[in-house]
Amino acid sequence: MPTHNDHHLTALYRDSFPDFARLVHRRGGSLEEAKDCFHDALLIYLEKESAGTLHLHSSPKGYLLGIARVCWLRTRAGGPVLPLPENFSETPDPEDEDGQEREETLLRSLQKTGKKCLDLLKAFYYDHSSLQDIAEKFGFNGRRSATVQKHKCLEKVRAEIKTELCAAN
């Protein structure tokens, strides 16, 4: 994420996680459970910040601990896990297990054949990096070249999706 390099994130983690771990432990939870919820909360925090929809009424730590606590309570109550935000394109995750498994399989296949494309698309859609930054990071000859490569990558991913779906049906 562009606004939170590892240094800042590490500081936030160092400052916040022990407080949350203490809460989870008092309620009978394990370190692993605390980590899972805390990482969900970090994802939500960073995605909202990146999308410009983070409205802090307290400190980043207070906000993070608030989300992590909700996640923990939901998990413990056996309720639905905390929904992650739909951060671009409003494409909700598939609700059925078959759909989720199919997409996990597709992703594994894409990671084998086109990790660079996935990294480029992540930089554009998820990290909201500028085309100029993407060009520099991936060694393209300027914004226009980065734009064409981004579209070609999307075309490649889309083609693989169609092939996989045809093979599955």
Partner 1 sequence: MRSELNEIRLIDQYLLRQLPAAEAHAFEARLLCNGPLAERVEAQRTAHRLVRLYARKEERRRFDAIFRRLQAEPAFAHQLKTIFA
Q: Pick left, alpha or beta for residue 71 (phi over 0 → left; psi -120 to 50 → alpha; otherwise beta).
A: alpha
Residues 6+ apart with CB under 8 A from 106: 160, 161, 164
Per-residue contact flags (x/-) with partner 1 for residues 20 to 39, judged by CB under 8 A: -xx--x----xx---x---x
3-state secondary structure (DSSP) of residue 160 = helix
Span from 15-23, 54-62, 74-82, 133-141 in contact with partner 1 (CB under 8 A): 15-23
51-58: list long-range contacts, CB under 8 Å, 24+ apart: 51/85, 51/87, 51/88, 51/128, 53/85
Q: Give residues 63-102 in contact with partner 1 (rule: CB under 8 A).
A: 84, 87-91, 93-94
Chain residues in the site for partner 1 (CB under 8 A): 6, 9-10, 13-14, 17-18, 21-22, 25, 30-31, 35, 39, 42-43, 46, 84, 87-91, 93-94, 103-104, 106-107, 110-111, 118, 121-122, 125-127, 148, 151-152, 154-155, 157-158, 161-162, 165
